[in-house]
Amino acid sequence: MTSVYEPERVDIPSATHDPDSYVRALLEVAGEREPSTVLGTTPARARLLFQDLPDRLLDVSPAPGEWSAASIVGHLHDVDIVYGFRWRLVLTEDNPDYPGYDEKSWAALPRLPFWQLFNAWEGLRAANVALLRALPADAWQRTGGHGEQGTETLRTMIMKVVGHDIAHLNQLYRTVRAARLADGRAVTALDDAYRLRVRD
């Protein structure tokens, strides 16, 4: 089934090869969006993209070396583990240091079956958002030392995840779309869900 619509692409530089550009790009994508709103709705927005998608397409990669939809959700789950820890560390210690991590190596670790993983991510994200919503404004100025990106405030850490969510929702949309098209499935409802309810 053909489509004349060419989905927009949100590209973020490599965190490993160019950490400064990576941070700038995430913050630019995040813009002035309200963090807890974006972070609190990302799992539900991601779930919209899986409507009517057969489970057998969850592991289809759009191109060699690119992540499948299941891998993207696994990565989002990993990010909530990593950043949930970092946020709590910064909130409970004075200017702590924390390392970067190899997202590709984490992605290769064993995982729960997809929908169990998705539900676990939803729960983990809800816990992290509840923490952020309960913090006083001055807590957002606490700092920590990222092993690759240097000193950053909690606010910067949070806004990086906002930009990361937006970029990966875009990637997830394009990946699901490619899998649907390759399987001869319609994409009109998916396009509408992304354009009207997901990307903003």
- Give the span between the Cα atoms of 65 and 38, in whole angstroms: 29
- Give the span between the Cα atoms of 121 and 136, in whole angstroms: 25
Q: Read off the pLDDT of residues 121-146 as tens digits, 9 standing for 90 and up.
A: 999 999 999 999 999 999 999 999 99
Q: Residue 125, SS3?
A: helix
Q: Name the pLDDT band for 199 (thresholds 50, 70, 90).
A: low
Spatial neighbors of 35 by CB under 8 A, at least 6 apart, are 132, 158, 159, 161, 162
- Give the span between the Cα atoms of 6 and 28, in whole angstroms: 23
All structural domains of the chain, each given as residue ranges with its CATH number in brackets, are: 34-198 (1.20.120.450)
Q: Name the pLDDT band for 1 (thresholds 50, 70, 90).
A: very low
Name the pairing type of β-strands 150-153 and 143-146. Answer: antiparallel
Run of H or E residues at 143: strand 143-146
pTM metric for this prediction: 0.93
Check whether 5 has a pLDDT greater than 70.
Answer: no
Q: Read off the pLDDT of residues 50-98 as tens digits, 9 standing for 90 and up.
A: 999 999 999 999 999 899 999 999 999 999 999 999 999 999 999 999 9
Q: Name the pLDDT band for 196 (thresholds 50, 70, 90).
A: confident
